[in-house]
Chains A and B, each alone.
Chain A
């Protein structure tokens, strides 16, 4: 049995093989859909229930899901689209993969309900290109749902039809940005669009479109089954429900854990088996690689919900918790992150295309003992010049780690510049040999 923690409600009763339709139905699956169609609950009432639940977007931005649904124009002549974002490319994040591999029908049911609530007849699930097996499994799940009449014309005999298709990407991070994702579905190069117009008015193929994260849709059946109030009560006001956290880094049991929003970080760390080798916690990136890093001691005092983490100076983001222990060289860690954004920038906007490479090269130099005194201020300034000046948030995502690493760990960077080597003893670190030799002497 897969263990997502004692509070798990979405990822409960799963063993890795019981993802099929019959298993899901045995767990009460598609009950929410049957309830809506059977009791003829109106679309507006569904949206109201989701609003009440306090469900916030699980992809990273944390936008209230019910509110987003209400933006879809009701009286619109022509097609409207529903899109699920399973383009899980954020470093540290691997929760949506678990949902579609262990409980795909929960997502499908959630999307059907959303389609019903917003009056859309066609939906797409865009799946990250680097989780191919999960994409194929999801296609199988869709076939099951179609065969059982949950998808297609007149679902369960009701006057409601919905087609759902799976689309796979090819691994570009930028296609996880919702308008880049839409471009990619349309068969174009994945490049974010300038907003406004927003997808709710000009989305897929220029039609009104709602895009939500996998986990957001997956929570919807539970909300319908148990009520918005019950979901909200699981978490905190404005932070309803449970959330999957992908814990990675220097912990004993890395993996996905589903906890109630508002759970202390310390509890999650405990669930993940505590720090590896009993080492001291140094830093945590609480919400995926784009979220600002926080010092370990700050994180240990912080609860896991959108508002608490924001107060602490970072973001809950996608719920990817990257834990770093005292042996971590923060320069090296940032070098890796900066390389990622440099490599994944779509290249459309000048500041991001040019600036991410500039930042990476500077951090790379510092890490490799070629830092200059003026580099640290320049690095901050370059990050400032990228943030807020690009079409999409990738520029911000590239700038925030740089700024936060320098903010909290500037002394390590300064040490690198001054001494051409690491402050900490990093296993496999670039200058460890020299550092060790010096220590030994």
Chain B
């Protein structure tokens, strides 16, 4: 633990700390560009040169180890001369036209030039011009002459995103940042390069030249997409969301954001926004005022109650809704005597209901994932479902964490896996059972009777050996496992496995409020119908909250049928969408930026937020709509004045922990029984997952938003007599759609991967089960 002196102040630092670390700890700012706390040290910008006693030349603070007795001067004449000279070099070829640069006002180079630059340039030669590039819809590389070659973007790709999509080509003055042979940058974390770029070289394509940073109000919020609950700074001008940036939270999103969290705001300003209540009168949509609309809703609900009873109602909510909205929806349903409420629209196996000890959750703190030494991920499109959780595993794997995967697809996770078992979806439980049995045998524990016939293969044995060799293991069930037809068996197997290993186990969680929905009791109580059951037997009236059943449900075909079969659909939605086809009333509600509310993330962290802009048009926060609806239906306990009152009625922040529990009881392990036939594997691609992101125009132009195809391995293609790219008919039950066949040779045998959440596949049936594929005639 050396003690160093910086600018006359002493500090003891960790072994291996740099002068920059020591200065940061002392609160001494050293100018820098290439240095970033989350990236490796490059020491190439030379801006952080400082004077070190006895050193013959100025040394870069970012790369110089702090040594015992070292005396450093960051602001001496000697140091400043070096820093100023570097600034001069940086500026000679940099365009000096800040007023027309998109980065102006939030530019590290501009800021530091004020302190270290000259008021006039001594450089009288011609300036370098670097050609612009097109790397896709999110990042603008229009002004590469501004690049100062700090390589932060390059190192971000290599070290954080896990894929080197940008590199520095050429030497000296000819060196420039390029993508690999003109490819687009496709990482789901790419937008962070815009934040990292200290100049106006990489800027946000959607935001570019739409506002100046000083015109924007900065308001805190929480991302409504995945279960991480990334903290956001939403930048607002004239009551419009202009841009989203990360709000640093080391325990959640660190200083990063996924592109989904960053660019989905475009969906908030979509032309499809519903801004006025609408009522279908004699088959035609009419814009009405709230009073008329709510009266119609109340009347319709009362009608159903009178004619069909409370069981005739069904309420479906998207898991991206706020805690308060979900709670009030459940309270409303229970107020009229129905337990038919559910937010788990993409689940299919509800056999765990009423058998779980508490709300299913991650089982640990997100920040602690990195300190696990063994991990098993079961059924997860990890990178695309949870971009930043994947990054935590990626970083941990570099430090020696062994990550094992059991899944139905073999997409590149950009992290080093210790072992993987890629099996057809229906064999997931069997594979997990093998691992469980292998661990039980290795630990000389009794093997559950149901698994007596399971034969342990080499893959399972390797995974078991990896898991059993660690000190702290974590077992995680991904979205694919949650949505799996045998989700409860998978969960039980994971629970047993965790028990044997002394490991933590839990769910990554599908959406912003996957935990919150349970806490808000937006799930059916005794006698109630779950999401699947509500659609299997159509109700007489549906209450939809933030949900687009044709895209959000496990079985979109059944959902559409149910919506059309029913008499009365009330859609509380921010968007018009397909509800125009089947709804009777559309109530414009506010997306997360226009309402206060709460998300409870995977680790059970309650994060309440305020609206950052006023609701668009006549849209209203859904909690208010539900509150008034409760009043109109004459229900007691709906007199809330604020969303905070609603939240406090649900639970206080300190009460969450006691409600989280992954344990199941009263469920028996079954002997895994694989089924035959071609099996569908359905992922929910990253930009198809919810109503907002589906309308984010730039994200929809990325490669991740490519239209679904019917992916098969080469053996299956040839067995079916198909070629890569050939148009095919995909049939599932009585439904069918036309798609193009595509080759993914890493898919397991006899599986067809067809994405869900997209209009092109909404006429197909459930996300899992048997499909048939035939050539298009």
Contacts and interface: CB of A to CB of B under 8 A. Distances in A.
Interface of A: 172, 174, 189, 194, 196, 342-358, 361-362, 365, 372, 378, 385, 388-391
Nearest to A390: B46
23 contacts: A174-B171, A194-B42, A342-B172, A344-B171, A345-B173, A346-B175, A347-B172, A347-B173, A347-B174, A349-B45, A350-B45, A353-B175, A354-B89, A356-B173, A357-B93, A357-B172, A361-B126, A362-B125, A365-B125, A378-B122, A385-B88, A388-B58, A389-B82
B86 interface: yes
A333 B564 CA distance: 86
A347 B45 CA distance: 10
B172 A350 contact: no
B171 A388 contact: no
Interface string B33-56: 000000001111111010000001
Given A351-B46, A353-B149, 10 more contacts: A194-B60, A342-B173, A347-B174, A348-B149, A350-B86, A350-B89, A353-B173, A357-B128, A358-B92, A361-B125
A19 to B, nearest CB: 34
A351 B170 contact: no
A102 B721 CA distance: 64
Contacts of B712: none
Interface of B: 41-47, 49, 56-58, 60, 63, 65, 82, 85-86, 88-90, 92-93, 122-126, 128, 148-149, 168, 170-175
A347 B86 contact: no
Contacts, number: 93
A351 B148 CA distance: 11
B90 A354 contact: yes
Given A345-B171, A350-B45, A350-B47, A389 B92 contact: no
B172 A355 contact: no
A355 B170 CA distance: 17
A346 B90 contact: no
Given A353-B175, A354-B90, A389 B44 contact: no
Contacts of B65: 196
Given A361-B125, A389-B58, A351 B85 contact: yes
Query: Chain A interface mostly helix, strand, loop or mixed?
Result: helix
A385 B46 CA distance: 11
A287 to B, nearest CB: 20
A347 to B, nearest CB: 3
Contacts of A345: 171-173
Given A354-B93, A358-B125, A389-B58, A194 B63 contact: yes
Contacts of B44: 348-350, 391
B171 A347 contact: yes
A372 B123 CA distance: 12
A346 B172 contact: yes
A347 B175 CA distance: 6
B89 A355 contact: yes
Contacts of B47: 350
Contacts of B63: 194
Nearest to B123: A358
Contacts of B82: 389
A389 B175 CA distance: 19
**Nearest 6 A/B pairs, CB to CB:** A347-B175, A388-B57, A385-B85, A345-B172, A354-B89, A361-B125
Given A350-B89, A351-B85, A343 B172 contact: yes
A367 to B, nearest CB: 14
Nearest to A372: B124
A387 B90 CA distance: 16
B176 to A, nearest CB: 9
A303 B124 CA distance: 42
B65 to A, nearest CB: 7
Nearest to A346: B171
B171 A349 contact: no
A117 to B, nearest CB: 30
A196 B63 CA distance: 9
A389 B149 contact: no
B168 A347 contact: yes
A174 to B, nearest CB: 7
B602 to A, nearest CB: 36
Contacts of B148: 350
Contacts of B92: 354, 358
Contacts of A346: 171-172, 175
Nearest to B126: A361
A175 to B, nearest CB: 11
A345 B60 CA distance: 19
A385 B89 contact: yes
Nearest to B176: A347
B174 A389 contact: no
A253 B488 CA distance: 89
B85 to A, nearest CB: 4
A232 to B, nearest CB: 29
B630 to A, nearest CB: 64
A372 B57 CA distance: 31
B46 A356 contact: no
Nearest to A173: B171
Nearest to A348: B44
Contacts of B125: 357-358, 361-362, 365
Contacts of A352: 172
A378 B92 CA distance: 14
B159 to A, nearest CB: 15
Contacts of B60: 194
A345 B172 CA distance: 5
Contacts of A378: 122
A188 to B, nearest CB: 10
A353 B43 contact: no
Given A194-B43, A194-B63, A349-B44, A356 B85 contact: no
Contacts of A174: 171
B168 to A, nearest CB: 7
B775 to A, nearest CB: 45
Contact of B172 (A353, A361, A389): A353
B85 A189 contact: no
Nearest to A352: B172
Contacts of B124: 372
Contact of A350 (B46, B56, B170): B46
A187 to B, nearest CB: 13
B168 A189 contact: yes
Nearest to B94: A354
A410 to B, nearest CB: 19
Contacts of B174: 347
A172 B90 CA distance: 24
A349 B89 CA distance: 10
A189 B41 CA distance: 17
B46 A389 contact: yes
Contacts of A347: 149, 168, 170-175
A349 B45 CA distance: 6
B171 to A, nearest CB: 5
A348 B175 CA distance: 9
B30 to A, nearest CB: 15
Nearest to A354: B89
A241 B168 CA distance: 43
A348 B155 CA distance: 13
B149 A350 contact: yes
B43 to A, nearest CB: 4
Nearest to B58: A389
Nearest to A385: B85
Nearest to B93: A354
A389 B170 CA distance: 22
A350 B34 CA distance: 11
Contacts of B170: 347
Contacts of A342: 172-173
Nearest to B60: A194
A196 B279 CA distance: 73
Q: By CB atoms of chain B within 10 A, which of A172, A174, A390 has the most? A: A390
Contacts of A350: 44-47, 86, 89-90, 148-149
Contacts of B123: 358
A388 B86 CA distance: 12
